[in-house]
Chains A and B, each alone.
Chain A
Amino acid sequence: MEATAKKLALPPPFEEALSRHEREIMRFLLRMTRDQNDALDLFQETWLRAYRAYPQLDSEQGLRPWLYRIATNLCRNRARDNMRRARVISNGDDPTGDDYHLASASVAGGGRHEGVIHLRRAIAGLPHKQGQALVMRKFAGLEYEEIGAALECSADSARASVYQALKKLKAAR
């Protein structure tokens, strides 16, 4: 695809994108969900969404952060669904409003283990952009330029978001 792709500024064929990035996306999802079943599900959904939206991808450079954005959003939605389901099942009162907080702003998936809640709570309490940036930096190891590309802001803005997130997490301990 090299010669033509360069002339036309096209992203690589989808198969190539898949084989290039499947490992790191899987690693990212395993870290985020800490549950293989969830990770496998989200892995399929990530690549299906990526395939459907592939015609809209502009360039090869944007591919990696674009994939992480899809994966991160899916993790967030899955976590929110899990929290909601857990609340329905437990059917308990929620005087602190913590469950609602988690359900509406959680970033990472899973949440099946009691002990995970503490960390998830902390990340979930962050404002949306800071939570996304932190997860991408910490769990995916993305560079700030890439986080910026994924969140549609500058690298400096991404860096600032991560610092703010860390500052808040430290203060909450």
Chain B
Amino acid sequence: MNQTLKDEILMREMLDDDGPLGMDSAPDDAAVDAALRAVRSKLARTLGRARRPLARIGVIDSPVGRLLVAESARGPLAVQFLDVPEAPDALAALREGFDLVEDADVGARIGREIERYLSGDMHALDRPVDLSLVRTDFQRRALMRLRRAVPPGSVITYQALAAAVGAPSGQRAIGNTMATNPVPLYVPCHRVIRSDGTIGNYGGGVARKIKLLRAEGFSVARDHRLPAGSVMGHLVTHIFCRPQCHAAMRADRAKSIIFANSGRARSAGLRACKLCHPA
């Protein structure tokens, strides 16, 4: 049958009604199969060049509420509080940068680590994280610095952290960095507080921030102030003092970490001030 005739038949079938063309005018299954076989490996190669890395995700119920968690080959990639409307939305950024696949094991593992942490194992969240979702180098540096320099049982002010990463007037930038931290808990943005000693904000809600700090040994008071017995540790001299110590007052507050008590400061490798003799 010549092409013009085939065309005419096709045209008549098209105009017959508004329904789809029947299966006789379609390529048969064998033709479709053959075409698919012919193209599969080429397509795999083409897609392979364009592929995003893989992220395994899950939704878990944890002691800090319902969480969306994601992990790449490098480590935890995102922890998002799902029950707090003001929590930053990691999902869009995750989808842009990664291919997502559900993995119950990932959720279970992260859930266990969080539980162990809140039960007192302060090293349960120590494994390496993937900071791909962090937008700028500055933010990445600030989060890494925080993770390294501010152990459980201590807190730092926005101001001091800004100074520590070389952005002395960068309080707002630090505030922003904490607010957009894609991996809370693993990167402890809950340990960053205001210079006036009040707790400040938290993506997962202030109540959670308090809960986490308390689990770490900071018995935060009702007015959101720090407990008595807190000591100031200096990042440069590695000496810790009572807050009222003259040396501490003179020293640059911007370069201090606040520890829940002397014991924590000692564990972090600091020594007691010889002037004020903290307990």
Which residues of chain A come closer than 8 Å to B43, judged between CB atoms?
43-44, 47
When chains A and B are docked, how far (Å) is the Cα of A25 from the Cα of B7? Answer: 22
Question: In the complex, which residues 141-173 of chain A have their Cβ closer than 8 Å to any Cβ of chain B?
Answer: 141-142, 159, 162-163, 166, 169-170, 173
Q: Answer whether residue A10 sits at the interface, using C-beta atoms and an 8 A cutoff.
A: yes
The residue in chain B whose Cβ has the minimal distance to the Cβ of A142 is: B20
Q: Mark A109-125, 1 if CB is under 8 A from B, else 0.
A: 00001111011001000
Bound CA–CA A62/B123 (angstroms):
44
Cβ contacts A18-40/B at 8 Å (1 or 0 each): 00001100110011000010011
Instruction: Check A31 against B27 for contact (C-beta < 8 Å).
Output: yes
Tell me whether B35 is interfacial, beta carbon within 8 Å.
yes
Segment at the A interface, from B97-105, B125-133, B137-145:
B97-105
Q: Are A51 and B21 in contact (CB under 8 A)?
A: no
A40 touches B35 (CB 8 A): yes
Instruction: List residues 1-28 of chain B with CB under 8 A from any CB of chain A.
Output: 2-7, 10-11, 14-15, 18-21, 25-27
Closest CB of chain A to B69's CB: distance in Å?
10
Residues in A neighbouring B15, C-beta threshold 8 A: 166, 169-170, 173
* Least CB separation from A48: chain B residue: B46
- Which residues of B sit under 8 angstroms from A10, Cβ to Cβ? 91, 95, 100
Number of interface residues of A (CB under 8 A): 48
Q: How far is the CB of A52 from chain B (nearest CB, A)?
A: 6
Residue on B nearest A13 in the bound complex, by CB: B101
Contacts A4-B57, A4-B58, A14-B99 given; indicate if A122 touches B20 (C-beta within 8 A): no
Chain B binder among A63-71, A79-87, A89-97, A132-140: A132-140
Contact between B50 and A48, CB atoms less than 8 A apart: yes
Residue pairs across A and B with CB atoms within 8 Å: the count is: 111
- CB neighbours (8 Å) of A7 from chain B are 59
B96 located at the interface, meaning its Cβ lies under 8 Å from any Cβ of chain A in the complex: yes
A4: B residues at CB distance < 8 A: 57-59, 102
A8 and B47 within 8 A (CB)? no
Chain A nearest Cβ from B32, distance in angstroms: 5
Q: How far is the CB of B79 from chain A (nearest CB, A)?
A: 14
| A119 lies within 8 A of B18 (CB) | no
Set B14, B42, B47, B59: member contacting A3, Cβ < 8 A: B59
Residues of B within 8 A of A13 (CB): 99-101
User: Quick check: is B39 within 8 A (CB to CB) of the other chain?
Assistant: yes
Chain B residue at minimum C-beta to C-beta distance from A43? B39
- Verify A27–B91 contact, CB threshold 8 A: no
Are A47 and B47 in contact, CB atoms less than 8 angstroms apart?
A: yes
Complex Cα gap A55–B99 (Å) = 9
| CB <8 Å contact, B4 and A118 | yes
Query: Across the interface, do B36 and A51 meet the contact criterion of CB distance under 8 Å?
Result: no
A30 touches which of B6, B35, B46, B92 (Cβ 8 Å): B35
Q: How far is the CA of A39 from the CA of B99 in the complex (A)?
A: 27
- The answer on a CB contact under 8 Å between A115 and B7 is yes
| In the bound complex, CA of A30 to CA of B232 (Å) | 73
Q: B19 contacts which chain A residues (CB < 8 A)? A: 137
Contact partner of A39 (CB less than 8 A), chosen from B3, B6, B35, is B35
Known contacts A4-B102, A13-B101, A51-B47; is-contact A31 B21 (Cβ 8 Å) = yes
Nearest residue, chain A, Cβ from B14: A138
Q: In the bound complex, do residue B21 and residue A139 qualify as a contact, i.e. CB atoms below 8 Å apart?
A: yes
| With contact pairs A4-B58, A113-B3, A115-B3 given, residues A27 and B32 touching in the complex (Cβ less than 8 Å) | yes
**A88 interface contact, C-beta 8 A:** no
CA distance A26 to B40 in the complex (A): 11
A114 to B95, CA, bound (A): 46
Closest to B58 in A: A4
- The reply to whether A116 and B39 form a contact with Cβ atoms under 8 Å apart is no
Cross-chain pairs A/B with CB under 8 angstroms, 18 sampled: A1-B101, A3-B59, A5-B102, A10-B100, A13-B101, A14-B99, A22-B36, A31-B21, A43-B39, A43-B43, A44-B42, A55-B92, A115-B6, A116-B3, A137-B19, A142-B20, A159-B18, A173-B15
Contacts beyond the supplied A4-B58, A13-B100, A14-B99: 8 A-B pairs with Cβ under 8 Å? A13-B101, A31-B21, A31-B25, A40-B39, A43-B43, A115-B5, A118-B4, A118-B7
Top 8 closest pairs, chain A to chain B, by CB: A115-B3, A141-B20, A115-B4, A55-B95, A30-B27, A4-B102, A1-B102, A40-B39
